[in-house]
Chains A and B, each alone.
Chain A
C-alpha cells in the first residue's frame, strides 16, 4: 500500500513549485496557471486525507459514514470555485491586455490611489 506521506510529498512539491512560480514569473497568465497548480496540489492532499484517515487511529474523533466523504466533497467545491474564478480572472486579464499589450505585473499600478 502506498503510504499517505508519499501523496502528501507530491502535493507539497507541486504547491511549492506553484508558489515559486507566482513569485518569479512576470506574465499574469503564467501566474494564474501557477495558482491553478497550487489549488490542484491542495486538492490532492484533500483526497489522500479522505482515503487514509490518520486521526481515526488516535480515537479522538468517531468517524461516521458521511464524514468519510467530507474531503471529496470539498474537492468538488474547490473545482466549482476554480471554474468560476478562471472565467472572471481570464476576463480581467484580457481587458488588461487590451489596454496595454506588453504587461509586466510589477509595473501594473492602475488601482493605486
Chain B
C-alpha cells in the first residue's frame, strides 16, 4: 500500500468519526468542534483529489467563516445540552435508521456497484489550480458569479434585518 492510500484511509476515517461526533455529541459546542474537524479532513480530501483551490476555499469559507459563526451563536446564546437529549428509545430513531439503510442500499446498488472496477479517465494536471478555476469562473460562468454576489448581498441585508428587529 502506498502513501496516498494510507493518507486517504486516515483522512476518511477522521471525517467519518467526526461526522458521527456531530450527531452523537450531547453538547452543541462538541458538535461544532467535531464539524470543524470534519470540514478540515474534507478539505484535505480535496487536496488528495488535486483540487487545491477548492481545498483552500473550504478551509477559509467553512472552517474560517461558517464554523466561527456557529460557535459564536452557540456561545452567545449559551445553549446547553439538549434537555430532552437523545433518548435511546426515541421513536424517531427507527424511521431515521430505516431511511438511511434504504438510501444506502439504493445508492450503493445503483451507483457504487456499477462504478466498481471501471476504468475512467482522470482530469489533467492543473485542473484544480486557481488559474483554471478563475478562467472558467470569469468566462463561462460569469452570470452565475454575478447572481451569487447579489445573493450574498440579500443574505447580508436579511441577516441585519433579523438581528435589528425588535421582538
Inter-subunit contact B70/A33 (CB<8 Å): yes
Inter-subunit contact B19/A33 (CB<8 Å): no
* Interface Cβ pair total, 8 Å cutoff: 234
Sort chain A's interface into a size bin.
Answer: 35 or more
Inter-subunit contact B73/A93 (CB<8 Å): yes
Inter-subunit contact A37/B96 (CB<8 Å): no
Residues on B facing A (Cβ under 8 Å): 4-5, 8, 12, 15-16, 19-20, 22-23, 28, 31-32, 35, 38-39, 42, 45-46, 48-51, 53-54, 57-58, 61-62, 65-66, 69-70, 73-74, 76-77, 79, 82-84, 86, 90, 92-93, 95-97, 99-100, 103-104, 107-108, 111-112, 115-116, 118-124, 127-128, 132-133, 136-137, 139-141, 144, 148, 151-152, 154-156, 158-159, 162-163, 165, 167
**Assuming A10-B45, A88-B162, A92-B162, what are 6 further A-B pairs, CB within 8 angstroms?**
A3-B115, A17-B19, A18-B22, A73-B136, A79-B62, A84-B152
User: What are some 17 contacts across the A-B interface (CB < 8 A)?
Assistant: A7-B49, A10-B16, A14-B38, A30-B22, A30-B23, A33-B32, A51-B50, A52-B122, A53-B123, A56-B120, A66-B140, A73-B137, A80-B152, A87-B69, A87-B158, A94-B162, A99-B167
